[in-house]
Amino acid sequence: MARTLFTLDGIEALAEEIPAGKRELAGLMHSAWEDGTPMIPVGGGTKLHIGNIPQAASMVIRTTGLRGVVEYEPDNMTISALAGTTLAELQKTLESAGQFLPLDPPLPEQATLGGLVAANSSGAIRYRYGTLRDLLIGVKILLPDGTETKAGGKLVKNVTGYDMCKLYTGSFGTLGILTELTFKVQPIPESLATVLLEFSTFQDAHDASLVIMRVEFAPEALEIWNRRALESALQQSFRDAWYLLVRFGDVAPAVNWQLQRLHEIALDMQCSIVGGVGTEQTERVWRAMASAKESSSPGETSLLKCCTLHDGSPQVAVQLETIAKALGADLALFCHAGNNILYGRMDWEGEPVDTEALVRELLSLRALCRSKGGHMVVERIAPTVKRGLDVWGYDAPALDLMRKIKREFDPKALLNPGRFVGGI
């Protein structure tokens, strides 16, 4: 009997390969293609909890053997690196020239560049700098049969045409395996600052965030977290129910001016500023916050991602609180207020949650998000629940086009079969 090396949502893989370079990876993929062997690409594994249960997982291919910076042009503000390079490694290289990739996803010491692009993973500072789709300017990728192709280039301004980089970003390894990526980077801000404002309701914090977004300055991040979320991230006690965190990054005079302006706005809104920290503490605090939503209790955990139009987020927040209370769960709520994305992490201890009741509540939340012009993705949940639930819940007209693209790139459906939207 073959030894099980890897399990994903209860599906066991019979082989796990870590190719040492692009040529070895291409040969491995070509053999799997010829044999009809399903493949699951894996980077650092930080986003493996996202997706439906795979239809098959005969071979896991880890890209961590493809590692290192290929080319760095500080004057052009671009960098190319192999897909198995971690974000923390890339940032260390960029730091030597006073630059950084403006990205703050969870677990940067573990997350690989290829995995981040495949999952389109980002964090709070997307409010100012955008997501990976906005930062990625070039890719090299191996198609399912091992054939190499590339898109984009190593210049910020590339030729016109369809931006294939955006097609691969967020495709969850269903179209090919990324081998090399090129990003545009930014100067490290001279000064950072974070201000914490407290509120008794999500609605009040949400209204304050809208006021701040209309002002003439541009924060790097604008977040609304409930007390449980903040306490779990910073390991200290807070007194109120909701907190608005505003982060600034710029040259020192600009940061100081924005801080002064924010204090004036807070006085006008009659809300309390309960804390503020400078550059060194801001870096430490936001590093801890970046991975907070991925933390979990020893018991069962569910992580829900809800997106709506601005006027819908307060209702979604209330619905998340109602669901957590009905299911006997503790709720940590994290909201990218500037981008209107809410994450609700529910933790249970003791008796397992009633699966049927949980599915009913999740479907009602999804319906609310849709009614508010958005959607809901179940990012983390027990495999027993996944078997009766489509975690993506995506059935828009674009799904037919996505299936056609999948058939064109992967006609044998060997890459991550069944895990993406619509069973792609």
Same domain for 302 and 246: no
Same domain for 233 and 165: no
pLDDT digit of tens for each residue in the chain (424 aa)?
344 468 889 888 889 999 999 999 999 999 999 999 999 999 999 999 999 999 988 999 999 999 999 999 999 999 999 999 999 999 999 999 999 999 999 999 999 999 999 999 999 999 999 999 999 999 999 999 999 999 988 776 655 567 899 999 999 999 999 999 999 999 999 999 999 999 999 999 999 999 999 988 889 999 999 999 999 998 888 988 999 999 999 999 999 999 999 999 998 888 888 878 888 899 999 999 999 988 766 677 899 999 999 899 999 999 999 999 999 999 999 999 999 999 999 998 776 678 899 999 999 999 999 999 999 999 999 999 999 899 999 888 899 999 999 999 999 999 999 999 999 9
CB 128 within 8 A of CB 220: yes
Q: Classify strands 39-42 and 15-17 as parallel, antiparallel or unpaired.
A: unpaired
- Which CATH number is 93's domain given? 3.30.465.10
Same domain for 321 and 272: no
Examine the fold and report which residue of 156, 171, 187 is the final residue of a domain before the chain moves on: 187
Same domain for 330 and 264: no
Same domain for 286 and 255: yes
Sign of CA dihedral 218, 221, 223, 228: negative
Find the helix packing angle between 227-234 and 279-290, rounded to 10°.
110
Q: Which domain holds residue 49?
A: 6-63
The answer as to whether 199 is a domain residue is yes
DSSP annotation of 4 reads: P
